[in-house]
Amino acid sequence: MDTIPFDYEPATTEQHYKEAQDDSNFIRWFANRTGEEGVLDLTRPYIEKGPQVIKWLGHLARNHSPLRYSGGMVLFRAMIQEDSTRQPISPAEWKPYIKGEIEVYDIKCIHVNMDQPAPLAEIGGVLAQKLDE
């Protein structure tokens, strides 16, 4: 799951949800993430549903109050901040939602690049190890 506690950065999150609801913004965002080849792979249903999914996720983030999870959590944090006044999210931000231990893995990238090959390889390695335990 890719998320942060919603109150950690509400203005930016709200802005992103509003921007992503427009098809042209969604396609532009997707092109920036995947390159032109990725846009060519988009099917019409994906283009039509993508903004709706993002809108629904925004609604859930603002309106859903989850129960406290009784297990532990593996937290991957982006350690490079786009805004020099921000600090990486503290595991303490998650404590109200998690009863178990929080294992933290720091990834040397900005948040929006955590889906790129190098960070994904690092994350995948940790997850593979966890699944083998």
Domain boundaries, the chain: 8-63, 68-132
Each residue's pLDDT tens digit, 68-92 = 999 999 999 999 987 777 888 899 9
Residues 50 and 70: their CA atoms lie apart, in Å, by 31
C-alpha torsion sign, points 131, 54, 88, 122: positive
Each residue's pLDDT tens digit, 27-62 = 666 666 666 655 556 666 776 777 777 778 778 878
